[in-house]
Structure 1
Amino acid sequence: MARSHVIENWNPEDTTAWEAGGEKIAKRNLLWSVVAEHVGFSVWSLWSVLVLFMPEDVYGLGAADKFLIAAAATATGAVLRLPYSLATAKFGGRNWTVFSAVVLLIPTGGALLLVLDPGHALWAYLLVAALSGFGGGNFASSMTNINAFFPQRLKGWALGLNAGGGNLGVPVVQLLGLLVIATVGNTRPEIVCAVYLVLLAVAGIGAALYMDNIDGRTADLKSLGAVMAYRDSWLISLLYIGTFGSFIGFSFAFGQVLQQHYLAGGDSPAQATLHAAQIAFLGPLLGSIARVYGGKWADRIGGGLVTAAAFVVMLACSVALAAVDSLPVVVALFIVLFIASGVGNGSVYKLIPDSFEAVSWKKVHDQSLEPGRRREFSQVSSGALIGVAGAIGGLGGVGINMVLRQSYLDTGDASSAFAFFAMYYVVAAVITLSFFTKVRRRTSTTQACDALTYGERAANAADPALVRQK
């Protein structure tokens, strides 16, 4: 018999239910969420690979045009994260994951047709690249869905793994591009598109067969605006511009920056493409892996400390990149920059549930929230901020590409762009050290105090999380 894909009365904080099978269910959904998000990220960053196959004398697109194409894809992915963050609660995590995989067949097929027939106007490439941004929206729906499946003590690990596995879609599509270039040359970009048409089908079918919908979840547009009433929501969003915005922005731009270095060094377009592709995937790959560790370290020592350390490293790399022009040094600094941004990606997302755990306990203490609704408030608010911060952070990727584009137009290199990025990282580091290095301690202290004060009320409200705290 076909099993039901709807779960009722899901409570990951109930350790008895978790150990009796809840953990297995959560990890199964996490697995296929990672697969679907991974393929979505690949489609989102598809044009970071395709532009390497598109010499200016054939397609009529210069370096500035290609940075603009990357910005179009990044912008759509960022904006769509807002509605996507509500979609899993409205339509179900399984249902939306299937839809979000299938809809990406449209921009992938469109990209295949464009690269097969050079000579289109710039707007056509911008349109199809923008549609590929639907793959970026997948991140918010996937993260919001997984946030609901795991208990508070494992959210940093689960969200870090989910995000890191999704981010790996960027280097994987770039590795596929390298494989195509190395085997058949830089004249067959349609192969990359064709492979992802198949992988999207696999992701959609796998999600349909093995994922679940959690019954009783609600999607409220007001929650998106409500979370922005809290100071921490704005600050976390600014931090995410610096971490994820850097990761996705540099993921789109790294190959092009390398290609320009090789062309300036005298390589032919074909040689420059191959040499850039051989290196470009390393940054996103290591950054994606580092994201998982950022989440784990944040679980152990706190998201604020890990995030602050990441920004300090990113600042140092940006200052150095603004000053040097040696290709080996540029590559090494870019790699470290990617790793630091990946660590920051994982640790910033730990700040979200931690912050709203603290807010929820404070509201219970102030008697502005019933103890029985505390866990729901924390989860709904965290999910909403995942969408908002993801959207705002994604816009950082747009900024990365637009600043790089302007830098190349003005000076022919990226030096002034990295000077600007360094200034942002200074601000982000100061914000993190000032407001978030004590979030974890504040949360645990508030829990311990309020559990004693409101234990009886928790029992009456049948809130298992609070009963155990008593």
Structure 2
Amino acid sequence: MTVLTDPQQGRTTSAARSAVKGGRWIDDWEPDDADFWARTGRRVAARNLVFSILTEHLGFCVWLLWSIAVLNLQSVGMQLSVGQILWLTTLPNLVGAAMRIPYTFAPARFGGRNWTIVSALLLLIPCGLFVYAVENPDIPYWALLLIAATTGLGGGNFASSMANITHYYPTDKQGLPLGLNAAGGNIGVSVTQLAMPPLIVAFGLAAVGWVWMPFILLAAAGAYFFMNNLRGAASAYTAKEMIAGCKDRQTIIMSVLYIGTFGSFIGYSFTFGVLITSQFPGIKASDFIWLGAFAGSLARPLGGWLADRFGGARVTMLDFLLMGLGIVAVAVAVQAGSWPLFLAAFLFVFVATGIGNGSTYKMIPAIFRTRAMQGVDAGDAAAVKSALAAARRAAAASIGISSAVGALGGVLIQQAFRISLESVGGIGPALAGLAVFYGLCVALTWATYLRKVHIGGVRMSLAQAGV
């Protein structure tokens, strides 16, 4: 057993104790203790955050691999319809959404360091299968679909990474590290879409699979040597709490809103290149496809900051209004055949999705904290501590569920575009449906969080209570 001591006082304290067993297991971790955080916690947490971001980033890079590959399948002799191409980008999203539920539990079950190593190495599977597929262009379409589906493993990394890093930081200091963790992952979408086209030109389509392998091995090695497992994180939430969370009204509402924000971001990221090609055949989609995800990723921390300053519910409601207006502008651009307006409007929508990702993610802990503290005597320290602990567990379960449902929303958006293109040869009906959906999200946000109700005997909105 290794015990960390106070270097100035030369004594061991409960807050400073960090017993490590079995290869980097930490038994005692108390980030909310200011003494422990200043002396030991900040440094260890930052080290774990760095490699968590790296692995999550690579997960997104691999997850979006087919979004750029489908634009170049003809170069290896594969002739597919628009519908078949959209299915190749839809299945990774579907699998990625499903993987977020088990990945949420994995760090608590196996240890954050251990699962980061495993989740990184699993990314070698879709990369290797991609190389095999493009080097065998006569492969059956069903096999191609299965190979594309394996990239969904990268989509699960977000859930496990966020669930793990949450426990490393003090309650009042989680905003920035979680924002950096999320943005570092999201920006992997644009890295794939920006870096791959010149690589394909220079080395062929198979390079899209080969290029990530050394970085994946580097990330796994970094996690092995520099990350830790937190023994106490295993009690953060249970499967029973996750099941209960699925039935919780607030979790259901936030899942719908997260479909509108993250579902839109990932759905548009997967389909942006196909939409450009179908609506503006003269434009080289690979030159512009990366811009949307890049803009949305950079806007995510801004959404969190705005939510801190003005309230998550207010920012989210306004954001959905802007998303609806942006989609209307996209529809106008398509009708007018204006490429500059189409690009500008879609980038505006991407920015709005990023802001909404940040604001909705900030709402969830506030909602459960506000609910848990109703009727609790603020002067009863034990009751307050118990209520906040329960709120944190409920919020963790809700975040896992919402992140999975949100990613699933991306599948719905992709399918909306596929059906629209196959049915009428254009994306007008899909855009109209999305505009209506964003309008419904505006109404849902107002009715749930901004409309005044009785809270603790006082007539006020949840937004006024801190949501």
Q: How does 1:242-253 map to 2 (within 5 A)?
A: 242-253=260-271
Q: Between 151-160 and 406-415, report the one with greater CA deviation.
A: 151-160
Superposed CA offset, 1:53-84 (max 9, x none): 11299213111111111111100000111111
Distance 2:26 2:445 in 1: 38
Could you say which residue in structure 1 is the equivalent of 2:341? Answer: 329
Q: Which runs of 4+ in 1 moved over 6 A?
A: none
Distance 1:363 1:152 in 2: 22
Task: Report SS of the residue matched to 2:167.
Answer: helix
Distance 1:372 1:430, change over 3 A: same
C-alpha displacement of 1:27:
2.0
Superposed CA offset, 1:234-268 (max 9, x none): 111001000000000000100111122342x4xxx
RMSD: 2.2
Q: What amino acid sits opposite 2:359 in the alignment?
A: S
Q: How does 1:51-450 map to 2 (within 5 A)?
A: 51-55=70-74, 58-181=77-200, 183=202, 188-217=204-233, 218=235, 219-263=237-281, 265=282, 275-325=284-334, 326-362=338-374, 364=376, 370-437=383-450, 438-439=461-462, 441-443=464-466
Alignment check: 8 A CA contact 2:32 2:170 kept: yes
Distance 2:432 2:165 in 1: 37
Distance 1:56 1:417 in 2: 30
The answer to whether residue 73 in structure 2 is matched with residue 16 in structure 1 is no
Alignment check: 8 A CA contact 2:364 2:398 kept: yes
Distance 2:41 2:448 in 1: 35
Superposed CA offset, 1:79-103 (max 9, x none): 1111111111111111111111101
Distance 2:137 2:248 in 1: 49
> Structure 2 length normalisation: TM-score?
0.87
Distance 1:363 1:189 in 2: 61
Distance 2:30 2:251 in 1: 25
Superposed CA offset, 1:163-201 (max 9, x none): 1110011000111212224545xxx11111111111111
Alignment check: 8 A CA contact 2:373 2:388 kept: no
Task: Report SS of the residue matched to 1:248.
Answer: helix
Name stretches of at least 5 consecutive residues in structure 2 with no aligned partner. 3-19, 451-460
C-alpha displacement of 1:341:
0.1
Q: How many residues align?
A: 431
Q: What amino acid sits opposite 1:199 in the alignment?
A: F
Q: What amino acid sits opposite 1:354 in the alignment?
A: A
Distance 1:141 1:183 in 2: 35
Superposed CA offset, 1:421-466 (max 9, x none): 111111111222232355454259xxxxxxxxxxxxxxxxxxxxxx
> Structure 1 length normalisation: TM-score?
0.87
Alignment check: 8 A CA contact 2:76 2:134 kept: no
C-alpha displacement of 1:36:
0.5
Distance 2:377 2:104 in 1: 29
Could you say which residue in structure 1 is the equivalent of 2:16? Answer: none
Q: Between 318-327 and 432-441, report the one with greater CA deviation.
A: 432-441
Alignment check: 8 A CA contact 2:200 2:208 kept: no
Q: What amino acid sits opposite 2:194 in the alignment?
A: L
Distance 1:441 1:202 in 2: 46
Distance 1:7 1:290 in 2: 34
Alignment check: 8 A CA contact 1:75 1:398 kept: yes
Greater length-normalized contact order (CA 8 Å, ≥ 6 residues apart): 1
Superposed CA offset, 1:261-309 (max 9, x none): 342x4xxxxxx5xx21110000001101111111222222221122122
Distance 2:312 2:436 in 1: 22
**Greater share of residues in helix:** 1
Alignment check: 8 A CA contact 2:103 2:156 kept: yes
Distance 1:200 1:296, change over 3 A: same
Alignment check: 8 A CA contact 2:311 2:466 kept: no
Q: What amino acid sits opposite 1:394 in the alignment?
A: A
Q: What amino acid sits opposite 1:22 in the alignment?
A: G
Distance 1:119 1:350 in 2: 47
Distance 2:431 2:75 in 1: 26
Alignment check: 8 A CA contact 2:311 2:463 kept: yes
Distance 1:373 1:9 in 2: 19
